[in-house]
Every structure is written in C-alpha cells, then in structure tokens.
C-alpha cells in the first residue's frame, strides 16, 4: 500500500490557483459513458470529444490566495481561510506544500496556496484511476474468471478480478469436477491463461524493490490477493490442489496456455460490482486493485492493457468528459506508487468536486462511499493509523471523508466535509520533502482538514 508506503460545454472555467470555476453543463449516465468509451476506442470518433481547453486563465496564482473582499464569502469561510494561511506554514509540513479549498455549492475557490503546483500525490492518484474506471466500465461492471476444457487440459482464464478468493476458486473447482465426472474423466492437466494483460513491467518511477510487498507484478489472474511474483501460476496451483482434493488426478505441473475458441466452457465466476471493488480499494488504499483497474479500464476503452494505455484513458476521461484541468498533471501508474507522478492539489480538488454533483452520483457515488472517514477503523484514516487523534483534529472525527497518500517524501490528504449548514467543502493538501516525522506531518494535515470543517476554528 502506498498509504503505508456532449452535450453543452462552457469555455470559461477554473484555473488551478484561480478563484472561480464554471461547470460544464452536460448529462452523465450509461448512454454518455458508452459514447465516451466508443470515442476513445476509435481514433476518428475520439476527435469528436476533443474541445478547446475549458480552463482559461482567470485568476491570481499567488501563494496563500484567500477569498477576497470582492467575493461573497461569509465570515466563517473568511476565518477558515485566515486560519489556513497561518496553519499551512506549520514547520511539520515543510516548504513544499500546496492546498486548495472549494465551495462546491457556489463554485467559489475559498482558499488557494500554490494550488497549481504539481507535487507527488502518492495514493491520491487513485482518485483519478477510480474516476476513469467507473466512467468507462460503469459501476455495475463485473469481472469474469472462467474455466475451459480442451486437449485434456482445464485452463483457468484470468479476467482481471483482483478480488478473486479461495472460496470462489473452490466453487469453480467443484463445478469443473462435476463436469469431468459427467464426461467420464478422472485425470486432467491444469493450465492458466493470463494473456488478457501484457507481461508485467515496472512503471516509470517504480523500482524492483516494490515487488511484492508494495505491489505484486500486475497479472490478470490472482487468488486471495497474494503478493507473489507469479500470481497466475500461484492461482493455478491452488486450483489444481482443489481438484485433487475432489478426487481428480492432476497430470504434471501447472503451465501457461492461451485458451482456444474451441475450448469448452466449464465454469464461470463473476466478481462483485465494480462499485464495491472501488470502495474496497479506496478504504484500504489497495495498490494491486488500483493497477488492475487501470488495465481493465484501458482494455474497455480499446487501449493496450499497459501503464501507458491506462494512463492515457485516465487523461481522456478527466479532461474530455469531466473538464478537469490537466495543467501540470503527470501520472505513470494507477496506484500513485510512481515517484514520477505529479498532480496539483487544484486538480485533485476538481476530481473530488464531481462527487458533489447529482448528475454524477450514479457513476461516481462509490468513490464518495469509499473515501475513508476520519476515525473509521479498518480504513486508512482509522485510529490504528494514528489519524485525527491530535487535540486539534479530534473534533473532525466522523465529519471528514478523505483519501490519504503516503510515500517517502510525500504526504497527501484530499477529501470533502460539510459545514454546519450542510454545504460541501472540497479540499486537497499535498506536501513533498518535509523532514518531519511522517506521523507529525499527518497530524498537521489532519489539522488542516479540521480547519476546513470548521470544528477547529
């Protein structure tokens, strides 16, 4: 985990660091989503989604830009901005820190501190991955793992389900055994087919030391999320053991084989809906799920199942469909493990602001549901991680939802909270290269979130 380690379009919009945004007026939903997928899959159609940048320069990008007297900002928001100005210079955060606070209801930027500066986002990159995956595949999409039979071999075919577990595999094995017995067979070879994805590789900004503790080599087949070098063969061996327990003789070792169209389908397992998988991924900041989703998103959009194919689709979805600014935006993976990733706080805030819009609730609602809640046990904002337990931030327990991000030299916290009047406040804070202890940095970050909430006034 990196948290331990087209309808109508408006041309004027928010610039990272600016004061005002104008949302793009268009309808979401499955029909539009399918059109986006088709356009990205067919180069000629893709041009139809291209449009001049909706992010014209409209505001100041100076340090510590707060809501000015000319903006209709109430006294509470003015006090919040003033508090943030003083608290963002906390020595624990270091000198490379950026932040943005948006009023999602009024389209005002309430506070900006180096908001357009691109910093290493760590696991906050998963917000971009989740948005693209849900938009391209849809929240009800399920991943399929199959067993097929041909040439005396049962082949376990990976379908990109990173949540496949031993119980699921046992059901596949039981169904396969029943089929073999019905056909009068008692001996079989076992193979795995993980050809859905290209061979595992390292993203730019990764190193081999990430394997397998921080992330496993990305393959289309895995069981129980096991962090091993070859998750596909590991799953095949588990499958072979299950067959043997049911009285089937497995001939030889598990091999790799590409299933043939003439193979006979034997068993099939479908995953939980993508919405549930996204929630799990965000709550626990699961790097492996994020990287698998990046590849499946690429495939659904007609791109190669690679880091490059996936990140290109992420860029297209964010900019062409949602109108999110990609100024100074650079990603090389789906999890945020890459030390070459760069995302401005303003862009992260724009992504999160989508969650407050009713028209995107069906598609993106699971991102909001999946954001850890301050003080939520079992999530990356839980007490077991020492989050929101500082005297200044304890008041925000249960009141802030946010995605965490932690790498060596990078800590981020981006999320949402509501005011006492029920209005959404969207925030993003990112720091790089602070020399303070990680827990101290996180305490300072939690304090900033509590400031946005208003409980630390």
Neighbours of 43 (CB within 10 A): 9
Domain ranges of the chain: 30-139+276-288+303-453, 144-271
Tell me the mean pLDDT per 10 residues along the chain, length 457.
38 32 41 44 33 31 43 82 98 98 93 98 98 98 98 97 98 97 96 96 92 93 95 98 97 97 97 98 98 98 98 98 97 98 98 97 98 98 96 97 97 96 95 97 98 95
Decide: 456 and 393 in contact? Cβ < 8 Å: yes
Residue 194 CA, distance from chain mean position: 23
Cα–Cα distance, 138 to 273 (Å, whole number): 9
- In DSSP notation, 110-145 reads EEEESTT-EE--GGGGHHHHHHHHHHHH-TT---EE
Question: What confidence score (pLDDT) does residue 48 get?
Answer: 28
Question: What confidence score (pLDDT) does residue 438 get?
Answer: 95
Q: Which stretches within 318-436 are classed as H helix?
A: 345-353, 361-370
Angle subtended by helix axes 307-316 and 126-137, to nearest 10: 80
Cα–Cα distance, 13 to 398 (Å, whole number): 32
Annotation: CATH topology of 144-271: 3.50.80
Cα–Cα distance, 313 to 149 (Å, whole number): 35
Cα–Cα distance, 424 to 103 (Å, whole number): 6
Report the candidate in 31, 16, 110 with the shortest Cα–Cα distance to residue 68.
110
Question: What confidence score (pLDDT) does residue 33 get?
Answer: 42
Cα–Cα distance, 97 to 88 (Å, whole number): 8
Which run of H or E residues covers position 157?
strand 153-157
Q: Which stretches within 50-102 are classed as H helix?
A: 75-87
Question: What confidence score (pLDDT) does residue 72 get?
Answer: 57
Angle subtended by helix axes 287-300 and 274-284, to nearest 10: 140
For residue 220, give both structure tokens: 């289309």
Question: What confidence score (pLDDT) does residue 106 get?
Answer: 87
Decide: 203 and 166 in contact? Cβ < 8 Å: no
Is this model's pTM higher than 0.75 or not? yes
Residue 74 CA, distance from chain mean position: 34
Question: What confidence score (pLDDT) does residue 228 get?
Answer: 93
Cα–Cα distance, 37 to 143 (Å, whole number): 17
Model pLDDT for residues 374-388, shown as the tens digit of each residue: 999 999 999 999 999
Annotation: CATH topology of 30-139+276-288+303-453: Beta-lactamase (3.40.710)
């Amino acid at each position: 985990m990196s948290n331990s380690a087209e309808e109508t379009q408006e041309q004027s919009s928010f610039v990272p660091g600016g004061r005002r945004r104008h949302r793009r007026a268009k309808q979401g939903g499955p029909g539009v989503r399918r059109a986006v997928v088709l356009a990205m899959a067919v180069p000629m159609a893709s041009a139809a989604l291209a449009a001049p940048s909706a992010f014209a320069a409209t505001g100041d990008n100076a340090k510590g830009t707060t809501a000015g007297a000319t903006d209709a900002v109430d006294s509470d928001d003015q006090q919040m901005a003033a508090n943030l100005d003083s608290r963002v210079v906390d020595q624990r955060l270091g000198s490379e820190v950026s932040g943005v606070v948006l009023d999602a209801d009024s389209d005002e930027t309430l506070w900006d501190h180096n908001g357009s500066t691109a910093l290493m986002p760590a696991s906050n990159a998963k917000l971009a991955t989740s948005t693209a995956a849900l938009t391209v595949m849809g929240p009800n999409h399920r991943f399929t793992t199959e067993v097929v039979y041909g040439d005396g071999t049962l082949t376990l075919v990976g379908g990109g389900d990173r949540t496949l577990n031993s119980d699921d595999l046992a059901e596949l094995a039981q169904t396969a055994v029943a089929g073999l017995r019905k056909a009068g067979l008692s001996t079989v070879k076992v193979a795995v087919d993980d050809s859905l994805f290209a061979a595992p590789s390292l993203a730019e900004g990764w190193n081999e030391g990430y394997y397998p503790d921080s992330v496993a080599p990305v393959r289309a087949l895995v069981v129980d999320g096991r962090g091993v070098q070859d998750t596909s063969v590991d799953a095949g061996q588990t499958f072979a053991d299950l067959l043997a327990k049911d009285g089937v003789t497995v001939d030889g070792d598990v091999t790799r084989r590409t299933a043939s169209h003439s193979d006979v389908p034997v068993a099939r397992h479908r995953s939980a809906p993508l919405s549930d998988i996204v929630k799990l991924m965000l709550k626990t900041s699961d790097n492996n799920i994020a990287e698998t989703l990046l590849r499946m998103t690429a495939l659904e959009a007609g791109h190669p199942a690679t880091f490059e194919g996936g990140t290109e689709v992420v860029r297209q979805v964010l900019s062409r469909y949602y109108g999110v600014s990609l100024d100074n935006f650079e990603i090389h993976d789906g999890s945020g493990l890459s030390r070459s990733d760069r995302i401005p706080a303003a862009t992260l805030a724009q992504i999160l602001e989508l969650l407050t819009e009713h028209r995107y609730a069906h598609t993106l609602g699971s991102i909001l549901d999946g954001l850890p809640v301050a003080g939520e046990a079992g999530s990356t904002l839980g007490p077991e991680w020492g989050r929101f337990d500082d005297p200044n931030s304890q008041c925000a327990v249960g009141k802030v939802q946010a995605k965490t991000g932690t790498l060596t030299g990078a800590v981020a916290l981006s999320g949402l909270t509501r005011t006492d009047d029920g209005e959404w406040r969207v925030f993003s804070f990112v720091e790089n290269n602070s020399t303070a202890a990680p827990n101290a940095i996180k305490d300072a970050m939690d304090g900033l979130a509590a400031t946005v909430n208003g409980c630390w006034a």
